[in-house]
Amino acid sequence: MDKQPFSDLVSRHGPTVYRVCRALIGPIDAEDAWSETFVAALRAYPELPADANTEAWLVRIAQRKAIDLGRARARRPLPTATIPDLSVDGPATEANDELLAAIAALPSKQRQAVAFHHLAGRPYAEVAELIGGTADAARRAASDGIATLRKRFTTDQPKGPS
């Protein structure tokens, strides 16, 4: 079996890798993480077995690059992470930023489980390999993370008794 052109991987999996990077490390560093991921993948691609699951492979590289960039960022001064006002019903980017800020505030395993399963569509068995533990634990982490996020964004009930 002949190996497909790398450009096919970029067009087919580029959006998925971007979603993963953005959820793991935030919108500011996501593009760096995406580039690092695809450059590393391009370098290693000739050695990848032709029947490998390329999306799983790319997501794994993205996880590593996001962790590396996160460490580098931790050594830089960081703008204060504030969770913005929720009353905004604005354009998609604002809504995205709110949700991303909330995802960033999740515990690491929940954040990764949400990113890998809900945003990248990877099965729980694979998520477990990425974050450690069992597939059941990965499922619980994702579902706990989603529950926290849902609660945060479903607070439009009438304000408390006055």
Partner 1 sequence: MIEFSERLDKLTEVDDVTLARLGHRLEQRATEAGLLDVAFRTIDSPVGPLLLAATPLGLVRVAYQREGHDVVLQALASKISPRILAAPRRLDEAARQVEEYFAGRRTAFDIALDLRLSAGFRRTVLGHLAAISYGHTESYAEVAAATGHPGAVRAVGSACATNPLPVVVPCHRVVRSDGSLGGYLGGLDVKRTLLELEAATPTS
Residues forming contacts to partner 1 in the complex (CB under 8 A) are 2-8, 10-11, 14-15, 18-19, 22-23, 31, 34-35, 38-39, 42-43, 45-46, 89, 92, 95-96, 98-100, 118-119, 149-150, 153-154, 156
Two tokens, residue 2 = 């002949």
Q: Which is nearer to partner 1, 27 or 133 (CB)?
A: 27
The residues, ordered by sequence, that sit 6+ positions from 2 with a Cβ below 8 Å of its Cβ are 50
Q: Which is nearer to partner 1, 36 or 126 (CB)?
A: 36
Name the minimum Å distance from CB 82 to partner 1. Answer: 18
Name the minimum Å distance from CB 87 to partner 1. Answer: 8
Two tokens, residue 81 = 């992470």
Q: Let me know if 93 is exposed, middle or buried by CB neighbors in 10 A (0-12, 13-18, 19+).
A: exposed
Name the minimum Å distance from CB 56 to partner 1. Answer: 18
Give the type of residue at 25: I
Name the minimum Å distance from CB 96 to partner 1. Answer: 6
Two tokens, residue 66 = 């996001």
* CB distance 119 to 103 below 8 Å: no
Q: Which is nearer to partner 1, 22 or 109 (CB)?
A: 22
Cα–Cα dist 54/56, whole Å: 6
